[in-house]
Structure 1
Amino acid sequence: MSTRAILPIKLSLTEGDVYTLWAPTWKENGTEWQAFLGDDESVLAFASPAHLLSYLEQQPQHDLTDHPSWGHFQMQGADRVVPRERDAYDIVGAPSYLAGRPSHENVSRLARVFQVSKSLADVGTAEQAQIFFASHSILDSVARGAEHYAGDNGMNEWSGVGRVVLANWADVVRSLDGVVRDGGAALSEASVADAESRIAAAEQKREQERAQKEEEEKAAAAARDPYDESVWATAGIDPVKVSIQGKTVYTLRTYLGSSPVFLGKYGEIFTFPSAKHLGRWIVGNEDHDLAGVSTWGEIMNAANAGELDVTVHPDNAYSFSGLAEDIAEGPEAVDTAQMSKAYELLADAADWAADDSLNSFLLANPRMQDYLAYMMGATESAGYVPSPPFSDKSEAWVELENQLIKRFSKF
């Protein structure tokens, strides 16, 4: 059943399809209520949603006026009177659901027809229909769903429901027909036509909004980084690729707070010539600093299950290629983003190894320290401007690269 408080519905009765409003059971002051759009005499039904909307706009008083959610319902758009597909109830055609097997579709549709029919019978005092539902407890099981009819006796019970409906349903429909009357007899053609136009406009707007939302969701899905769904992202441990001095190596790194931790031990970074070599090595080795990280078990579980794909995110790929040559050529030739990223790896490695080799080198070469600050936009470079020749800066950068390479287990 829908969780909406007031539903526009379509009912298929003897005279054809009609539209009305239904308020399924709600509680007020400790008492349960249910209602349809109606007056003191009958439940009111209409030939179309436009007739229904026109009536609501012209008749402020009816049986739903006092419903606690009536004000909210009225604040919605003109298409508030248009039923969803699942809110169409084929009361006349109910026996056809029982002609087939107790599939999810047949059982769920029949359950909804029983629900609205019983509610209509109780609200409108359709005596024959009330007696029918009160006299046959076998009907109650339909609300349990198709699973109820999946057992050994399921088909027998489903057939039992069919026999009860076949013998009595015509009387039930006639009883329900008697409590529903056309509420649109006094409506003008002009008011109905106007309502129809506004409903169409509201439906078009809603469809445009739905399409726009769908496009936004597709765009968001396309923009979503697949890496974010990987075990690496979940564990917060990342494969790292380093291209330096003509070779490429792979390793792992995470951060504990702001402190880097590499796959390695005692200041030595364990490196591998390919991602596959790295993935195979992980399975049989636990003697390294990352093994103490709380999420390392997630990586091991994936590796032992054969589900670990060592994929390097672009953010964790570091290229030193050509930097020394570009530095020698001049500041304009240097890709500062590449340099900044490469320096990040140099600093992380030194930080993890807990030695001062990087800082000591820069302290011993203050012009190189000024150069790096200038190139990477640090504020402490104010007043310094690199000037040729730049060969000393290139040589100093190569020395920084060599410091990093010395930390690699294999190169």
Structure 2
Amino acid sequence: MTAKVARRWLHLVVGGALLMPYFLFVGTVVLALLGVPDFFTDPPALVLTFALALPLVAVTALVPAARPPAVALARGLTGAAPDALADGPARGRVDRSRTACWYVLHLGLGGVVAGATLAVPPFAVLLLALPVVRPGPRSPYTLPTAGPALYLTPIAGLALLAALAGVAAGAGAVLARAAPVLLGPSPRERLERAERRAAELAVRNRLAREVHDSVGHALSAIALQATAARRLLDGPAGGGRAFAGEALSAIEETARRTVGELDAVLGVLRESGPDPGTAAPGLAEGLPALLDRTRAAGCRVTVRGAPLPGVLPRPLDREAYRIVQEGLANALKHAPGAPVLLRLERTASRLSVRLAQPLPPAPPGPSDGGGRGLAGVAERARLLGGSATAGPCEGDWVLEVTLPTGAAPVPRTGEETR
């Protein structure tokens, strides 16, 4: 016997055990009113009791809370696919009716199989032992005690056990096939489940973007600063050592800040932290520090235009910061030391971010570094209803992002260069 058949057999026996309260109630109360004193010894009364117990099962199974335990048993013992079964109580009339049908099927088949499981094995053992052990005069069974038929009883005993196993396997297979039909989610529940999965995937994607943008940018800056510091420390003493000290201080500050951002993102995974987006500052408040870190890593950045504090919606402000951060991280990674021109422009309806850098020997793209950063930028822009393009343009590598704002225009500030 396979483990799957054994689990389904156990599921049927549990159904028979669940049927017993209904069976005893009908036998002791209802049939007593009909004048049947002992329904256990009267086969017609026994069948009638069983038949009358099943409608009572159906009525009680109409309770919405009846579905979760049935689903839990079916998932664990029938082998039905977990996603094929519904979660939570039955909410609609159709769902409650399907649950009631499941209980009738489960407890009905379970009652038959459980009763046979209790009765057949002892009788089969008696048949197997009959050629050696004779039944006493008070035995309830009428069995041959002599002749050729006596030696055929072991075969009959084995046949009974095989028949019991076959009936249990067949009934278990019926329940396994019926479980997704009677306990499966309704169309509304399938839609809700799909929406929950989409929300979970959106959170995961956002977490991945936050980790990539924050940690990736920080590690790129740290690597360049550490390389520069090592080279200066290996050289002659003098002003180079002072610059190396500044680089090491920048590494310390970048690492400390990144640990805080990473902790906020991982807090979401632990379900104990804030929204991962809160780990990122806004463009107006975070841009000066971001520029300082980028310049400390050896990248010359020129900024034309800058957002004024408090004039952008918070989600847009935060995502725009991440976009600029990813663009500068790409510049550090693919062309360290090359000048970068960052242009920020705000109109009545949109915010434009443009980063341009002379083309390096190997321009950044999907074939260099996996392209996850640029894909994340495009995804952020798309979620905000904007657009993003990246590629060579007139001798430069250009990342251009346009985001809708829906707010009043902001005056452009002058040029800042360091």
Relative to the length of structure 2, the TM-score reads 0.26
Relative to the length of structure 1, the TM-score reads 0.27
Q: Which has the higher strand share?
A: 1
Q: Which has the higher helix share?
A: 2
